[in-house]
Amino acid sequence: MPRSHHACALLLGALLLCQPGMAADIIVSQTENDGPGSLFEAIHLANRQPGADTIRFDPVVFATPQTLVLKQPLPSITDTLTIDGYIPDRLWKSSGVTLDGQSRFPLFTVPGNTHLTLRYLTLTGGKNRQGGALFSQGNVLLDSLLIMNNRAEQGGAIYQQAGQLTLLNSTLLNNQAQQQGGGIFSEQGSLTLIHNTLTANTAPAGAGLFRQGSVTLANNILAHNQPGPDAECRPASFPSTQNMPDDNTSNLIMSSSGCGTPRFTTDPLLGELGYYNGPTRTLPLRGNSPVINQADNALSVDAAGNPLMWDQRGNGDPRFAAGIADLGAFEKQAVLQLQVDTLSDEDLRRCTRLSQDCSLRGAIALLNADPQKHSLTLDPKKLPGASTITLDRPLPAPKRDITLQLQPGQSLEVRGHGGVAIKQENGNQLILRSVQP
């Protein structure tokens, strides 16, 4: 339902109160639990006002990282609400908002028929019987969050009892459930996870994710969740219209039970949690991570189905930095070096200054994703003379002619290259061209 326009007045210089006339955000301007300018007062105000509201945080007060330590549970959400922790004009400077339940209180409760969107926040220290950071029966979008160190009997971080839940560009770290779902327990409703990293969560069953029914998983990392499998999906006793787990093939899941066949089951090689730009801490990818440039771009979309612009950190860190996105919440912003440095036919797409991380197959995939690039070279140190690549399967068809520039003394033979024509021109160039059927 569209929100009516409101005119707003400043209450004690801290909190915007709105009257019919002109729309405005509700601004949190202090870190105390109650009173004008507090998050508690902002949520109460949003609940009282009909229609959709947005709560934001004062960019001066929250220009550096601030923690709101809860001394009581936050009010239950009863109306359509967005809480946005993004702090503008802080590129490459630490900022942001942390909500801390002190391992005493749950953080967010969303009843049925209620819409909640959370963006660019850190949720920590939540404790509840179900869902330490979030218990939801409604429609929830969690976008660009760090959710860590929450506890519950089921759903250490999140418990979805019903409704619709979309988790996007977020990190779930070190959450714990006594029974199922160290990161997420999803009982019913629609569940979609796109570009998230779930790691170091613990539960006896579904240590990262426990789902009763089918789930949509796209370009995620679920790894090092213990002791149960990283992802566990069990048949539901209710109808579901979501895709069946066998469609969930664009993820890294180190151990999966019933949640589809992941593309990778290896160690994703995550770095240390820290501020690497943006309003939340993130887990970076190491330079030799196998998930770099391995996402399915068609699935790298936001809740509205539009291509993602940023990774978890927001402005400054493009999601398609190399043309093909990485798996997980963090996008490696490495400079591409389109230089084939291995004779392996593996799909190696990192293509950086590191050794043996750029195969011909991987380089073609990257060139296909970037219409501005159309050439590559052979590494003169790794492949100085005559080289032969033997293919296990056809190469991806180039979307346009690709020029492979050779240095004196270099040559390349590709065996079994059905689908790609290779023509030598001017003595030191190979032209890779798609063979039209």
Summarize pLDDT for 191-237 with one digit per residue, the tens. 999 999 999 999 999 999 999 988 999 999 999 999 989 999 998 64
Percentage of the chain modeled with pLDDT above 70: 90
In a domain, 90, yes or no: no
Which of 206, 241, 257 is the endpoint of a domain? 257
Rounded to an integer, what distance in angstroms lies between the CA atom of residue 270 and that of residue 305?
28
pLDDT, mean of residues 384-409: 91
Q: Does 224 share its domain with 110?
A: yes
Per-chain mean pLDDT for the chain: 89
Each residue's pLDDT tens digit, 307-328: 999 999 998 899 999 999 999 9
Helix-, strand-, coil-residue percentages of the chain, each rounded to 5: 5, 35, 55
At 63 the three-state DSSP class reads coil
Lowest mean pLDDT among 7-21, 44-58, 82-96, 165-179: 7-21
Indicate the residue among 257, 279, 301 that finishes a domain.
Answer: 257
Does 100 score more than 80 pLDDT? Answer: yes
pLDDT of residue 419: 62
107 shares its domain with 240:
yes
Q: Tell me, yes or no, whether 242 and 118 share the same domain.
A: yes
Tell me: do 104 and 252 sit in the same domain: yes
**Mode of pairing for the β-strands spanning 108-110 and 66-69:** unpaired
Cα 89 from chain centroid (whole Å): 22
Nearest C-alpha neighbor of 114 from the set 1, 240, 239: 1
pLDDT tens for each residue of 10-36: 443 445 544 443 446 999 999 998 899
Domain tally for the chain?
2
User: Is residue 358 a part of any domain in this protein?
Assistant: yes
Verify that 248 and 104 share a domain, yes or no. Answer: yes
- What is the share, in percent, of the chain residues with pLDDT greater than 90? 75
- Kindly state whether residues 110 and 241 are assigned to the same domain: yes
365 and 246 part of one domain: no
Q: Is 379 inside any structural domain?
A: yes
- Report if residue 430 sits inside a domain: yes
CB 37 within 8 A of CB 9: no
Instruction: Tell whether 122 and 247 lie within a shared domain.
Output: yes
More confident position, 251 or 13: 251
- Does residue 189 belong to any structural domain of this protein? yes
Amino acid identity of residue 350, one-letter, is R
116, 92 Cβ separation under 8 angstroms: no
Q: d(Cα 211, Cα 220) in Å, to the nearest integer?
A: 15
Tell me what the mean pLDDT of segment 332-354 comes to. Answer: 92
pTM of the model: 0.89
Q: Is residue 227 one of the residues assigned to a domain?
A: yes
pLDDT band at 247 (very low <50, low <70, confident <90, very high): low
Least confident of 66-80, 91-105, 136-150, 285-299: 91-105
**The dihedral of CA 167, 172, 176, 181: what is its sign?**
positive
Closest CA to 32 of 67, 81, 77: 67
- Residue 374: band (very low, low, confident or very high) from pLDDT cuts 50, 70, 90: confident
On whether both 251 and 345 belong to a single domain, the answer is: no
In a domain, 314, yes or no: no
**pLDDT higher than 50, residue 239:** no
The burial class, CB within 10 Å (0-12 / 13-18 / 19+), for 365 is buried
Domain boundary among the residues 226, 257, 288 is at 257
Domain that holds residue 241: 96-257
308: in domain: no
Helix (H) or strand (E) holding 252: strand 252-253
